[in-house]
Structure 1
Amino acid sequence: MEKEISRLISRKTIKLMRDSSRVITRAHIPGGLSRIDHIIDRVLKLSEEETEKLMHTICDKFNDRHKDIERQITEHFDNVSEFLPHDITISKMKKELIGAYFTMEYSIESAALFNPSMIPHPDQSNLPEGCLRFIMSLRATGEGHISSIVFRSGIINKDDSILFDPISEFVETSKMRHNPFYDSHLFRLKLEDLNAWDETSIRVMEQIPDRFTFQELKVSIGVVHMDPDFSCNDDVINTLFWLANSNYNIQFDKSCGVSERVIFPYSENENRGIEDARFVQFHNDTDESIYYATYTAYNGVSILPQLIETKDFLNFNVITLNGKAVQNKGMALFPRKIKGRYVMLSRQDGENNHIMFSDHLHFWQESKIIQEPTKPWEFIQIGNCGSPIEIKEGWLVLTHGVGPMRQYSIGAILLDLDDPTKVIAQLEEPLLTPNEEEREGYVPNVIYSCGGLLRNHKLIIPYAMSDISSGIATIDLNDLLSCMKFQKQEDKP
C-alpha cells in the first residue's frame, strides 16, 4: 500500500519560501512608558535643520520598504502624542521624527512560512475556460515566534499546472476596528458562557440598545463603575472589555494586493500569535458563499480557538467562539450545514479526532470521538488537516498522524455524507510522509496541511515542510479512493 501511494502522489517543484525582506512597521516603546518623556524631550531639543536631515535619511532608507512610511510613523506619533508638553506646537516633520523613534520594523516571515490552506478565490472573472483562481493562506512566523496570517494567489490551469501570482515586495497590516455594532442578545449569551453574567453585567447591558457601539458600551460601563451605591465586579468589567476587543473588524484597501495583506495579532488573547488558519468556502442556506477560517489564538500562556469571516478577503470579521467544546487546536468547519446544523471537526483531547454539531456558529457545547489512533504512524495523536471536502462518496478529510520520533504524516479518511460521525473508509498507510528534503527545518520530520482543494477530480494538497516552508502535492481522486479501505457493511455499528 505504501509503495502504491508513493507512486500515485506527485510532489510539485513549487516551494514557498520565507522572505525576511518582507517587513511591516510596529509600534515600539523602548523600555516602557517611563522612557517616553525622555525620548520625546531629546527630539524636541533638535533644531528644525537637524530634524529635516534625520527625516530625509529615514525616508531614503525606508521608502522602498513601505508604501507610505510617513503615514505609518505619524500613526505611531499619535500613540504617544499625549506625552508632549501641553503648551507646545511642533512641526509636521518633528511629529514624524518622534513617530520614527517609536516605530520598528518586523519581518513577518523571517523564521517560517508554513501550514497552508487553499480555497477558490471569490473572483473567478476573466479566466480562460477550465481554469480556477485560488487564494492560499499561510502561517508566517517572525522574531519571537509571533505568527500572523499571510496570503498568496494564483491560477490552476486546465492542464492542472499551478501558477502563483507575483509576490509584492510590500506587506501591510490594517488597523483593528471595533465592530460597528454589537448584538446585545449575542453579547449576553457569550457573557453567560464566560460565567460573567451577574449584577454588574446586567446593569451595564440594560443601559445600552439592542445594537450598540463600543463607545456606548464604554459609557455604560463608566456609569455603572462610578455609581457610589453599587459595588462593581471588576473581573466582569474586564471580561466585558475583553469580549468587545476580541470581536473586531479589519479592512484592507482595494489597492492592497492579496500578497500584501497581513492579519497580525490584535487582541489580548492572540498577542503572541495567530496560528494555523483553516479556511473554507462555506455555502449557506441560500447557496451564497462566505469564507470562514478557524484559527488558534495564543497569548503566551493559553490558546483559544477563534473564527474569521470574510466575503472578499479585504474585510475580515474576527469572532470569539464559545462553549464547553471550544478548546485545544485544530477546529475545522464543514463547508455547509448538515440536516440544518453547523458541523465542525476538532481535537479537544489533543489525541483523537472529534466531531461536533451546533445550531449556532459561535457556540459549541458537545463533541464526539469519531477516530482514535490505530496505526503505528499515528499512535501518538491524530487530527484533521483542514475542512472536509464533499465528494459523492462522502466527506473526504485529510488527517495528520504523529508516530515514533515525533514524525508527522498526512493521511485521509472518508465520512458518511448524511451522518459524518461514521468513518466509512480510511488509508491504512500515510498519503504523505517527510522525504529527505522535507524533514530538515525549524521542527524536523513534520509535514502538515490546513486544507486542500479538489479540482477536476484531482486533490491538491498544500503542505508545510518541517515548519519552515511549504510545497504542493497532487493525487487523482480515484487513485486515492482506490487505496482506501472501505468499511464492510457488517462492520458498521
Structure 2
Amino acid sequence: MLKKRHGKLTITRKPNKIVGDTSRVITRPHLPADSRRIASIIQRIRGLTQKEGNTVLTQIIHDFSRRHEDLAHIFERHFGLVKHHIKKGTLLSETERTLIGAYFTKEYAIESAALFNPSIVPHPIQGHLEEGSLRFVMSLRATGEGHISSIVFRSGVLNRYNTFRFDPVSEFVETPDLKLNPLYKRKLFQHKLREMNADSDICTHVLNSLPEEFSKEELDREMGRLHKHPHFSKTKQNRTFEIINWLSDSNYEVDFHSNHRISERVIFPVSRNESRGIEDARFVQFFDDNGESTYYATYTAYNGVTILPQLIETKDFISFKITMVNGKAAQDKGLALFPRKIKGQFAMLSRQDGESNHIMFSKHLHFWRTSHMIQMPEYPWEFVQIGNCGSPIETEKGWIVLTHGVGPMRQYCIGAMLLDLENPRKVIARLEQPLLAPTEEEREGYVPNVVYSCGSIIHGNELVIPYAMSDINSGIATVSVNHLINAMRRVTA
C-alpha cells in the first residue's frame, strides 16, 4: 500500500491491480464481408457425409464446450443470421444446422488489450455483510483485437477499513440475448432525426403513416413501401433510410442470466453507431424523488468516424436498456449524470468545446438543449483540456467532482472541485495541484502518462477512486473526504 503526501493530503494507492485476462472470450458472428461467400460455405458444409459432419461437430464440442456455457444456443442464434441464404423448403438435419452456426462463429478476447477506465457504485444487494462493509459493482472498459471496447463488470466487498475483496472472476463470459426496443415514440424519434440531419420530407412521409407509438416492424414496413414506390430521389431515400435504421438500432435491450455471476456479463457493441466500441461508461446510482434507485450510465458510442452519447439504464445489472441521449448540448464525450434531481430537474456534467467543464439541466432525461460553462483550464497541468472523471458525489459541504486535466506531454492527471449543493453552476472550491498524477510505474501502457477514472464513491469518510493506468490496467486509491475538501482553494465569485 503506497501513501503519498500531497500538501496536507495523503493519497493511498491500494495494492489491488485489475488486469485483463486473455482467456475470457465471447462468441461473435463471423460473416464474410462478401455475402456471396456465405452460400458457398453452407454448400461445402452440406456436402459433408453424415459421418464426416458428426466427426467435425464432435471435435468442435470437445474443443469449445468448456469455454462457453451454451454452445448449442450460440450456434442456433448464428445459424439464424445466415439461414436466408438457404433455399426455402430445404430440409436440414440438426447436425447441419449446428455446423452451419459453428462455421459462422468466432471467439473474441474482450480483455486481451486492456482493462481500464473504471467506475464504481453500490451493489443493488447489500444483505449479509459485516458491519461497516459495502458490496460494490465496478464497471470497466475492456478492449480486445482491433481496439473494440465493451463494458465488463466486477463485484466485491469493501470492509470498514476500505480493504477491497473482489469476488472470484468467472472463466465464462456471457453474450446476452438482444431485443430491439419494441416501441418508439414518434415525436421523440422525429426530433432526433432532425438532429441527425435526416431529410425532413422523407422522414415526415414515413413517420406520418405510423401511430404515435410504433414498432421496428411497422417502421420497416413503411420504409419498404417507400422503397418499392419512391416519391423522392433514390440517393436521398437510401441516405435517409440509413439514418433511420441507425437511430432505431441504437435503442435496444439486453438480458443476462440472473443466476450467473456479474463478471460473466459483457455489454458488447450491438448497433452500427457503436460498431467500433462502447467507451468510458460512467455509472451512477440515481435516486428518484420517491427514494427508489435506478442505475444509469452515460457512454460514448463510436463507429470509427463519429461519436454519439448513449444512456444505459438498469435496476439489477441483469437487464439493461440502451437509448440515445439527444439535444444540442449532448454531442461531446464525457457526460456525467448527477445522482438526484436538483430543483425538479435532471442535471448533467458535460464538455461542449473540447476543453472546458459545463453543466446542463433538463426536465427530460433524454433531451439536453443548453449548457453553462463552470470551469476552464487554469493551471499548467490542465492547460490542454479538462473534463470530469465521473458523476458528482454529494457531501454536506457540496458536490465533489473529480476532474481530469491534460498538460504537457499529453499527461492526464486527476483533480477535484466542489460545487454548491443547490446551485451546482457555482464552483465553491478546487484543487490547485493534481490529486493523482502518473507515477513511474503507471506511465507505461497503451496510452502512456494517463491516470483516469469514470466514477468514485464515498465509504467510511473516504473517497474511493478506481482509476486507469495508461489505458491498460486499473488500480484503486483512497483519500479522506474532509482532507480533500479542506485542501481545495476557495473560489471567489
Q: Residue 449 of structure 1 corresponds to which residue in structure 2?
A: 453
Query: Does the 8 Å CA contact 2:469/2:475 hold for their aligned counterparts?
Result: yes
Q: 2:475 and 2:260 mapped to 1: Cα distance?
A: 25
Q: Once the two structures are superposed, what CA deviation does each residue of 1:291-324 show, in whole Å capped at 9, x if it has no partner?
A: 1111010000111111111111111111111111
1:141 to 137, 140, 143: 143
Matched, 1:177 2:195: no
Q: 2:9 and 2:240 mapped to 1: Cα distance?
A: 58
Query: Does the 8 Å CA contact 1:188/1:197 hold for their aligned counterparts?
Result: no
1:386-397 equivalences in 2 (<5 Å): 386-397=390-401
Q: 1:5 to 1:56 in 2, by over 3 A?
A: farther
Q: Residue 470 of structure 2 corresponds to which residue in structure 1?
A: 466
1:277-288 equivalences in 2 (<5 Å): 277-288=281-292
Q: Once the two structures are superposed, what CA deviation does each residue of 1:370-392 show, in whole Å capped at 9, x if it has no partner?
A: 11111111111111000000101
1:301-340 equivalences in 2 (<5 Å): 301-340=305-344
Give the CA deviation at 1:367: 1.8
Q: 1:227 and 1:363 mapped to 2: Cα distance?
A: 35
Q: Residue 82 of structure 1 corresponds to which residue in structure 2?
A: 84
Give the CA deviation at 1:360: 1.5
Give the CA deviation at 1:93: 1.2
Q: Once the two structures are superposed, what CA deviation does each residue of 1:233-285 show, in whole Å capped at 9, x if it has no partner?
A: 51333332222111111111212320000000011100000000001111122
* Sequence identity percentage: 57
Q: 1:306 and 1:385 mapped to 2: Cα distance?
A: 17
Q: 1:287 and 1:397 mapped to 2: Cα distance?
A: 23
Q: Residue 431 of structure 2 corresponds to which residue in structure 1?
A: 427
Aligned letter for 1:223?
A: R
Query: Does the 8 Å CA contact 1:18/1:110 hold for their aligned counterparts?
Result: yes
Q: Residue 12 of structure 1 corresponds to which residue in structure 2?
A: 14
Query: Does the 8 Å CA contact 2:295/2:315 hold for their aligned counterparts?
Result: yes
Query: Does the 8 Å CA contact 1:414/1:424 hold for their aligned counterparts?
Result: yes
Q: 1:188 and 1:469 mapped to 2: Cα distance?
A: 41
Q: 2:112 and 2:419 mapped to 1: Cα distance?
A: 39
Give the structure-1-normalised TM-score.
Answer: 0.95
Q: Once the two structures are superposed, what CA deviation does each residue of 1:310-366 show, in whole Å capped at 9, x if it has no partner?
A: 111111111111111122211111111111121111112111111112222111122
1:357 to 355, 361, 366: 361
Aligned letter for 1:172?
A: E
1:163-174 equivalences in 2 (<5 Å): 163-174=165-176
2:156 to 141, 154, 157: 154
Q: 2:386 and 2:45 mapped to 1: Cα distance?
A: 56
Query: Does the 8 Å CA contact 2:346/2:365 hold for their aligned counterparts?
Result: yes
- Name which of structure 1's ranges 179-188 and 420-429 shifts more when overlaid on structure 2: 179-188
SS state at 1:13 partner: coil
Q: 1:451 and 1:228 mapped to 2: Cα distance?
A: 49
Q: Which consecutive residues of structure 2, in runs of 5 or more, have no partner in the other structure?
A: none
1:29-428 equivalences in 2 (<5 Å): 29-86=31-88, 88-196=90-198, 198-227=200-229, 234=237, 235-428=239-432
Query: Does the 8 Å CA contact 1:200/1:224 hold for their aligned counterparts?
Result: no
- Name which of structure 1's ranges 238-247 and 200-209 shifts more when overlaid on structure 2: 200-209
SS state at 2:175 partner: coil
- Name which of structure 1's ranges 270-279 and 225-234 shifts more when overlaid on structure 2: 225-234
Q: Once the two structures are superposed, what CA deviation does each residue of 1:421-460 show, in whole Å capped at 9, x if it has no partner?
A: 1111111111111112111111111110000011121100
Give the structure-2-normalised TM-score.
Answer: 0.95
Aligned letter for 1:444?
A: P
- Name which of structure 1's ranges 180-189 and 422-431 shifts more when overlaid on structure 2: 180-189
- Name which of structure 1's ranges 418-427 and 175-184 shifts more when overlaid on structure 2: 175-184
SS state at 2:141 partner: strand
Residues matched between the structures, number: 488
Q: 1:330 to 1:50 in 2, by over 3 A?
A: same
SS state at 1:437 partner: helix
Q: 1:361 and 1:229 mapped to 2: Cα distance?
A: 36
Q: 2:456 and 2:209 mapped to 1: Cα distance?
A: 47
Q: 2:341 and 2:152 mapped to 1: Cα distance?
A: 28
Q: Residue 25 of structure 1 corresponds to which residue in structure 2?
A: 27
Q: 2:392 and 2:478 mapped to 1: Cα distance?
A: 17
Query: Does the 8 Å CA contact 1:249/1:318 hold for their aligned counterparts?
Result: yes
Q: Residue 440 of structure 1 corresponds to which residue in structure 2?
A: 444
- Name which of structure 1's ranges 254-263 and 359-368 shifts more when overlaid on structure 2: 359-368
Q: 1:432 and 1:471 mapped to 2: Cα distance?
A: 12
Give the CA deviation at 1:87: 5.3
Query: Does the 8 Å CA contact 2:357/2:374 hold for their aligned counterparts?
Result: yes
Q: 2:184 and 2:280 mapped to 1: Cα distance?
A: 27
Query: Does the 8 Å CA contact 1:351/1:372 hold for their aligned counterparts?
Result: yes
Aligned letter for 2:325?
A: L
